[in-house]
Amino acid sequence: MVGSAGLRITRFRALGIAGVLVVTATAGCGGGRSAASSSSTTSPRSTTTTSSSGPSTTTSVPSTPGGGPGSYVRLYPFASEADAAQWQASYRSGGHEPWHVDARQTSLAFVRYLGLSGVDQTFSDTENTSGAHVAVGFLNPNGGPVTSAVVHLVRLGAGTDVPWEVVGTDDGPDFTITQPAYGSHATSPLVTAGTITGVDESIRVAVWPVQASSPAGTACCRAAGGQRSPWSVSVTFSAAPGSALTVVASTGGHLQAVERFVVTGIRA
């Protein structure tokens, strides 16, 4: 998770089934690593660009488990490997939703799913043994890219057309979620906490079940700011026992409503 103009999401971990908990921070109530690469791509309903300009920050590897898809919480877009396999069958027979095989497009679709408006660009992507890491963000109207978070994805399934699954975001020094722990089990009300660096920040929390059309609970807003200052927000939600939940924190209000965000995955 990262702060200020570029935010870091905490890695969604373990592929699970049903939920997403979203914490959003905004100046008033309203989220990351800097841009790096130079290739471009197009995503469903938005255009992505890349740039080599912009400040850079160091990304720390969060304490998410490794070892493949089964080590993480499934957050988006599939709730299970069976769902992924069903999509593969439709893709092979009719080319249905080809964006699932593109990590950048899947990352932007995930951002839209969470309602993080204005975050509509991708600036870099890397692949390693832990999966893909895609920097998402927006273009500063005063010039230059702003990275809001780095989305972590893994392949879900088998074959040459395996789709991507979001399992979290990369950690960062300026915006973090330290509570609840990734992959932990939680009950309502849920206390979320971490640190943030910024000015006139405000944190909003929402709980989103996987593939849901609206959040299962929201809480707004917690004023925050300073240098790696602690923040905490309590949110009441309703979710099926054992379902996966995503905790997302975002902040904004200086250049646009959402400028940085951070995410972690837990279970009800």
**Amino acid of residue 155:** R
Question: Which pLDDT does position 69 carry in this prediction?
Answer: 56
Q: Give the whole-angstrom CA distance, residue 145 versus residue 55.
A: 9
| Nearest to 137, CA basis, from 265, 10, 258 | 258
**Is pLDDT at 10 greater than 80 in this prediction?**
no
Mean of all residue pLDDT scores within the chain: 77
Q: Give the whole-angstrom CA distance, residue 32 versus residue 6.
A: 5
| Nearest to 176, CA basis, from 196, 162, 191 | 196
Helix (H, G, I), strand (E, B) or coil at 82: helix
Convert the pLDDT of each residue in 124-153 to its tens digit. Answer: 999 999 999 999 999 998 889 999 999 999
**Amino acid of residue 143:** G
**Is pLDDT at 95 greater than 90 in this prediction?**
yes
The full DSSP string for 174-236 is SB---BSPTT-B--SSEEEEEEEEEEEEEEEEEEEETT-SS-SEEEEEEEEEEEEEEEEEEE-
Q: Is 41 exposed, middle or buried (0-12, 13-18, 19+ CB in 10 A)?
A: middle
Q: What are phi and psi of 9, to 5 degrees?
A: -90, 145
Question: Which pLDDT does position 70 carry in this prediction?
Answer: 61
Q: Is 232 exposed, middle or buried (0-12, 13-18, 19+ CB in 10 A)?
A: middle
Q: What share of the chain is helix, strand, coil (3-state, %, to 5)?
A: 10, 40, 45
Question: Which pLDDT does position 53 carry in this prediction?
Answer: 33
Strand partners, 70: none
**Is pLDDT at 51 greater than 90 in this prediction?**
no
Mean pLDDT of 107-111: 97
Q: Give the whole-angstrom CA distance, residue 58 versus residue 178.
A: 18
**Is pLDDT at 29 greater than 80 in this prediction?**
no
Question: Which pLDDT does position 37 carry in this prediction?
Answer: 31
Please give the sequence-ordered ranges of beta strands (E in DSSP) within 3-130, or none if there are none: 20-25, 41-43, 46-48, 121-128
* Displacement of CA 211 from its chain's centroid (Å): 15
Mean pLDDT of 26-48: 34
Helix (H, G, I), strand (E, B) or coil at 104: helix
Block residue for tokens 């979710």? 239
Q: Give the whole-angstrom CA distance, residue 262 versus residue 224.
A: 15
Which run of H or E residues covers position 133?
strand 131-139
Tell me the pLDDT band of 245, cut-offs 50, 70 and 90. Answer: confident
* Displacement of CA 204 from its chain's centroid (Å): 15
Q: Give the whole-angstrom CA distance, residue 237 versus residue 162.
A: 33
Mean pLDDT of 230-237: 93
Q: What is the 8-class DSSP label of residue 62?
A: P
Report the 10 Å Cβ neighbour count for 132: 20
